[in-house]
Structures are given as C-alpha cells and as structure tokens.
Structure 1
C-alpha cells in the first residue's frame, strides 16, 4: 500500500492496462480494499475506464463488490455520470438493482442526477423499479418527489405491472400524492394521463392528492385533478373534504391579515389589500363548489364547509357557484395568474342544446337524411350541409310536441324511418312509428342527435346490488391473491424488500438483510455462500 492504495488500484483508476497485465501475470489480489472499502473495480469506475473494467472482469474481479457505503461500481458510474462505465458493467452482467447503505439502487441515483440516458439503459437491463430505499421510496416515488418529468415518462413506458403506479409508501403516499404535495404539475399530468393513476387513493390520514394540493394551494394541480373527475367529497380522518380545507385556509389567512395590519384606519376604510393566500384559497373554494363539491357535508366536529367561512360574501359566492354549476359558468384563475385571464367552465348539456349558428335559440330542427339536430328553425334554411357531419341536407323538420301525450316535446328519433314524433316516455313503449307505422328497429335520444353522449341505462335495483356485490367479492379475491404473491416474494426479515439473495440451504432474503447474516433466519444453518438472483 502507498498513500492508502495498492498498485492495482492506482493503475485501474488511471487506465494503465499494460501495468495491470503485468500485475495479473503475477497473481495480484483483485479484492484488496482501501480505507473506504473501494476495490480495484471501484477505482476503474471512478476513473471512467471501461476497458480496465473488462480487463478486471476477465481476471475474475467481482463486479458487484461493495465499499463501506455499500456502493457497487455501478453506483459509482451512475453518480459520476460515466455512461460508458455503466454500459460496460451492465453488459458484463453486473446486478442492476443492488442497494447502497441508504437503500438507493443505481436507478434511484440516475433519477436524482437527471440522467435519462442511464435510466433507459438500466431499465433495458431489467433494473427493478419497485425496490424501495430506506425512506420507503421506490423509483416512481423518487421521480415524483424530485419533480423529474422526463424520468417519470421513461418509467411509465417501461413499467412491468400497472398497479405499481398506485403503490403506497408506509405512510400511504403514492407517487401522485408526492407530486401534488410538491407542486410538480408535469409529473402529476403524466401519472394521471399516461399512468392512469387512481386519483382517489387515500394516505394514512385518509387524504387524497386533492386534499394535499388544496392544502398547499397548488392551483394547477387542483385544476388537473378536478378536470380529470376525481372525487371532490372524500373526507379525511377528521371528516374534512378538500372544500373544508380550502375554506379553513381562507379563514386563517384572513386572521393573519388582521393580526399583521398595523393601521386600523386603513382596515376600516377598506384599503388593506388581501394577501395572495386568501385570494388563492377563495378561488379554489369557488372552483370546487362550481364543479360539484358538496356544501353540506359535515366533518367530525359537525361543521359544514360554510361553517368554516365567516365571510358572508364568499358564502354567497359559493352557494351561487354550486347552484349554477349546471346552468351557468364559474371563473377560476388561469395558470398565468393574470387579472383578466380566466378559465370558463360551462355545462355541456346547455352548449349542446343551443343553436350552432345564432347561439340565441335552442335547436329544434331535424336534418335529413343524417338525423342530426344542429340549428334552430330560423337558421336552418341557410344551412346547406349539416354542421356536424357535413352531409348534404335534403330535408328540414321542425321538432314539435309529442303526438301521443301532447305534454312534452318530441325527443326520440326512430330508425330507420328517421321520424322524431314522441317523447322519451312514450317512445320507449312503441313498437311502430306513430307517424308512418313502420317498425322501429332502433331509437336515438335527442342529446345524441345533437352530438352528445347517451345517458347511462338504469339498472334494476336487484341486478345492481348483485353486480356490485359480485364486483366487491372479485376485488377482495384479487387483493388477497396479490397479498399472497407479495408475501411469497418479499424478504422474511424486513418484510419490505423483494427476495433477491438465496443461501445454499434454499432459503432467501433481500440483499440488504442477507449481507448482514451469518446464519439463515429460517433454518439457522450457517451461511456458506450467498447467491444473487438476477
């Protein structure tokens, strides 16, 4: 040893392959460690010497050797950004998912270093993205925590099983929770759109991702989750919904503003400017109310969201937004934060009923032969081609009241005769069209003729209950099967990581636990050899 290193270690780090040949000729020891536990192969990784790594491998050096921080040469290659070293080690068959003293795999390190090229190479060599570090973060959690959208995109394209997207940490946080908590909007969008993440999963405090986004006032995350139709009324452990959370935050910000206001005269004159927190919380609360958040749900203290809001003007605004959500519009600040930039949320039902030409009157003219309803009777003579399908309009028929009951407007199109002369209730009883007496093969609702989607068909109560009961049983059975698989494949010592090391006795543990054991935890036989599973 000189300055703490052997000649082989110095030659490996500096790429002196001829010197290494001579040393190998005289049976040099590859596995001598320096004060940090680094061996010659570690030094080759430090020095970015892939050819030396190949040379050491041919001589029998252990490519999975650990230093005192439990790092393999692959960890070092990733952390130093030496892509050629990483490629060489993986091509030579080193294990891609061993953990260091902090439980991080090379994949965790590549995500931290934002090295997408290394992430792709590791996944191509079957790196395990389900392995968790000492803090309980798997690779998806880690990418969400770090706010690395490019890494998340790669991980989601290579994910082996879909349920991993919704895998929880010990505290119940999923990757989507972490993205929402830290305002990583692009990561959250990838998880929702590409990963199809379940937005209604709750953590140990029974909070959804929406709870966390509202609590931190991350408006873009709130908008994303609501737009993708997450459940707005899930209560947390205290019974609070996201709307409770928004209004509580609004009230607290008002109180802080009152405490910080030095000039009482300004406050009385209304010159005190409200803080950004207050504005954001109020906007979020109105947005939630306008999209269906329930104003009457009580938490465990018996409080509704409105009970938490002492501002009468805001209470009125919330009630109005909630009442008009099916017939009017509600404003919500745009991502740019400008005073005049707003996103208008309208009800689809109303927009489908208004005339596509004048937008003043409602649609009441059936075009033939396409069967679409696009305009009012005043605008229809000017339309030569259907505005929805571009087919030539050959006939225009104004939709009148139902010819059977004369009570409601006709709202069912009969096929193949293309007549609309009966309402929903009467049309469902008919076998033949009352206008032309031809057999009815199919009926099309008014909203579908306008370009909308048909309403879901009601199910008989008995069938619905049986179906939901069967679905619940199937779900419980699948969950039990999944738990059985996890029990069979997880380490019997830590009960957290997957088994990836076996002993000669046939029993196995994870690599982190197995490296520290002198005897098998199952049969108590002495551990003579440890075999890593690839």
Structure 2
C-alpha cells in the first residue's frame, strides 16, 4: 500500500485507504463490507486519523459520537475492540472519551476487557478497569463461559491477572467445561499464574466437568509439582494431600493420570505425596495395570519399589493380570520385569 499524505486542519493521514476511500464517508463501510474506516484506523493505531474521522462524521450530521462507537464490523468488533486488538492505549482512551461502552461484546461474547487480558496488555487493561463501568464486565463471561481472569490465566499473563485480582474479580468462576482460572492455568502449565491464584486463596478443591482437580491437571504436563514455591507448598500441603487420591468421573486418580500421561518424575512425586496404588478406575484398572498395559517399564519399576500392599498378580480389566495385559500389547520388557518379580501367567 503506497503512502499518501492528506492535510486537512493539520491532520496527517499516513494510510491511503483512510485518506482516499473514507474521508468523504467516514461512517461508511469498505467495499467488501468487512470493515469501517474507524475500525481500520483503530486497529492500526492511527490516533489522529481516528479522531478526525469521528469529528468529520459528526460535523456532517451522519452520526453522533456514541453512535459511531457502536458501529460493528463482520466480527462484531466495535472501534474499542479494534483499538484493543491493535494494542493502542491512546486509541482506546479516545474510544472511551467518545462514549464507547466497555460492556459491548463481539461475536464470541468477548468484551474489550477479555481481549486485553488475553493479549496481556497491562496498560490497556488498567485503562479499561479505571472506566466507571468496569465492575459490570470484570466477571462477564464470553460464549465459552470464560471471564477476563480465565483468559489472563490461560496465557500466563501474571501482571494482568494481578490487576484483575486487585480490582476485585471473582477467583473461582467456572467456564462451560467447569474450569476455574486456577484449573485452566494448571492445565496449560501456566505455573506463575497458578501460584498467584493459590496465594490469593483460589479454591484448590474445585474440579472440572470431568471431575479432575489441580493434582490431576498438574501431571498432564512436564513441569513438576514441586516447582510450587516452597512457602506455597508448605502452606497448602494439607489441602493438596486431600486431593491426591480423589478420582475423576472415569475413576482415575492423579496417579493413574501420571502413569498415563506424565513424566516418571510426576509418578514419583505423586507417590511421595501419599498416592494410593490400590485405587481402581471404572475399568477396574490400578495404576500398575495401566503401566503394564501401555508398556511403561519406568513406571513399573518405580511402583514396585514403593511400599504397597498391592500384589503384582491382582486381577485388572477383563479379568486379566498385569502380565497378561503387557503380553497381549506386545510389551516384552514389561513382561520380563514382571516374570522376574514373580508374576503368575496361568489362570
């Protein structure tokens, strides 16, 4: 796009699209009807053109300032949404000055605050929170049921999350999948935000729609449980101990999940936390049976080395012992380990 300069009342337009197409019709849409000049200027951080277009439209008697601020593009963006998307604090401030409501949502139900928090724009978030109507949107949910804090937590924007907490947002709202901000931060390995939420007393016992608590979600990822700051680990150890043997709707405990998806370090840490090896899921599988069935020699060795009353010959799913499950799935090394440890093959 070639640059042109249009001077009117000292306003410098650096974008040909704004200067050539929109100056005579500032409130009109583009030829493909996907954008408005105000949205284009806002999303490209063009402060002076943005102000000029508003003034021009008002002077022509086409619209009032508040009407212009309610214009929506095909995505449902208002000029304020576009300004947040473009990352311009100055244009955001202009939108608010011209009367744009922070309560307006785009097509997925996101307010401008949702957008600024998902992008991690601390300065813009602060501007939006200082707006007189911020209390009405701070806990507003989009179509996924997520608040601004969910989005800040999901993308590990710690400073933005801290701002929201300081402004009184709710910590334990659940989205459509039952995730609180703490649960979603844990699932996404956003540890700094997780610890921030724990420090501010987010509910550790909450579960998602599948019955998974934070201990289940911790072991899905590669970060270790004991990356929790020491003071938090000590402060919440009793609470975490209560969760280590809770089972989700499929009957899986955090130890089952660690064996299925986690690193061997997770398995060791969950065991050190007091995880029971005797718990069975809905398929009658203990963590030991699962380890054998999926061929995890590392887990088999660790589980056998921890004190437990669990016999390696206990029956699991389909009335099969661990050695049978390992054999039918072709896990030769697991079979060898179990046979050396006294596994029974008959019956």
Paired residue for 1:48?
47
Query: Is 1:235 matched with 2:232?
Result: no
Of the three residues 136, 153, 157, the one matched with 2:166 is 157
Q: Secondary structure at the match of 1:189?
A: helix
Spell out, residue by residue over 1:277-334, the C-alpha distance to the aligned partner (whole angstroms, 9 max, x if none): 7xx32x32232222232333333333444454556642343228xxxxxxxxxxxxxx
Determine if contact 2:251/2:280 at 8 Å carries over to the other structure. yes
Determine if contact 2:149/2:164 at 8 Å carries over to the other structure. yes
Paired residue for 2:98?
92
Cα distance in 1, alignment partners of residues 71 and 164 from structure 2:
27
Paired residue for 1:268?
none
Paired residue for 2:338?
none
- What does 1:66-465 correspond to in 2, within 5 Å? 66-125=72-131, 126-127=133-134, 128-160=137-169, 164-194=170-200, 196-220=201-225, 223=228, 227=234, 228=236, 229-230=239-240, 231-249=243-261, 280-281=263-264, 283-309=265-291, 313-319=301-307
When residues 29 and 215 of structure 1 are mapped into structure 2, their CA distance, relative to the original with a 3 A threshold, is: closer
When residues 105 and 12 of structure 1 are mapped into structure 2, their CA distance, relative to the original with a 3 A threshold, is: farther
Q: Could you say which structure has the greater relative contact order, defined with CA pairs below 8 angstroms and 6 or more residues apart? A: 2
Spell out, residue by residue over 1:380-439, the C-alpha distance to the aligned partner (whole angstroms, 9 max, x if none): xxxxxxxxxxxxxxxxxxxxxxxxxxxxxxxxxxxxxxxxxxxxxxxxxxxxxxxxxxxx
Alpha-carbon offset, residue 104 of structure 1: 2.5
Alpha-carbon offset, residue 186 of structure 1: 0.5
Of the three residues 22, 30, 34, the one matched with 2:30 is 34
Determine if contact 1:180/1:221 at 8 Å carries over to the other structure. no
Q: Secondary structure at the match of 2:47?
A: coil
When residues 39 and 223 of structure 1 are mapped into structure 2, their CA distance, relative to the original with a 3 A threshold, is: closer
Cα distance in 1, alignment partners of residues 305 and 91 from structure 2:
62
Determine if contact 1:226/1:291 at 8 Å carries over to the other structure. no
Alpha-carbon offset, residue 13 of structure 1: 8.5
Alpha-carbon offset, residue 220 of structure 1: 4.2
Cα distance in 2, alignment partners of residues 239 and 206 from structure 1:
9
Alpha-carbon offset, residue 121 of structure 1: 0.5
Alpha-carbon offset, residue 91 of structure 1: 2.8
More strand by share: 1
Unmatched tracts of structure 2, length 5 or more: 1-5, 293-298, 309-347
Alpha-carbon offset, residue 37 of structure 1: 5.1
Alpha-carbon offset, residue 207 of structure 1: 0.9
Unmatched tracts of structure 1, length 5 or more: 1-6, 250-276, 321-534
Cα distance in 1, alignment partners of residues 233 and 245 from structure 2:
11
Cα distance in 1, alignment partners of residues 225 and 56 from structure 2:
52
Q: Secondary structure at the match of 2:284?
A: coil
Determine if contact 1:285/1:318 at 8 Å carries over to the other structure. no
Determine if contact 1:183/1:221 at 8 Å carries over to the other structure. no
Paired residue for 1:448?
none
Alpha-carbon offset, residue 182 of structure 1: 1.5
More helix by share: 2
When normalised by structure 2's length, the TM-score is 0.66
Spell out, residue by residue over 1:348-398, the C-alpha distance to the aligned partner (whole angstroms, 9 max, x if none): xxxxxxxxxxxxxxxxxxxxxxxxxxxxxxxxxxxxxxxxxxxxxxxxxxx
Cα distance in 2, alignment partners of residues 305 and 81 from structure 1:
48
When normalised by structure 1's length, the TM-score is 0.45
When residues 314 and 12 of structure 1 are mapped into structure 2, their CA distance, relative to the original with a 3 A threshold, is: same
> Based on CA coordinates, which of the two structures has the bigger radius of gyration?
1
Cα distance in 1, alignment partners of residues 138 and 147 from structure 2:
6
Determine if contact 2:118/2:148 at 8 Å carries over to the other structure. no
Spell out, residue by residue over 1:11-66, the C-alpha distance to the aligned partner (whole angstroms, 9 max, x if none): 98939xxxx9xxx9xxx876433333544543553422264366358642322221
Alpha-carbon offset, residue 243 of structure 1: 1.4
Cα distance in 1, alignment partners of residues 180 and 217 from structure 2:
12
When residues 294 and 226 of structure 1 are mapped into structure 2, their CA distance, relative to the original with a 3 A threshold, is: farther
Cα distance in 2, alignment partners of residues 101 and 56 from structure 1:
28
Paired residue for 2:321?
none
Paired residue for 1:14?
13
Paired residue for 2:331?
none
Q: Secondary structure at the match of 2:215?
A: helix
Cα distance in 1, alignment partners of residues 125 and 70 from structure 2:
19
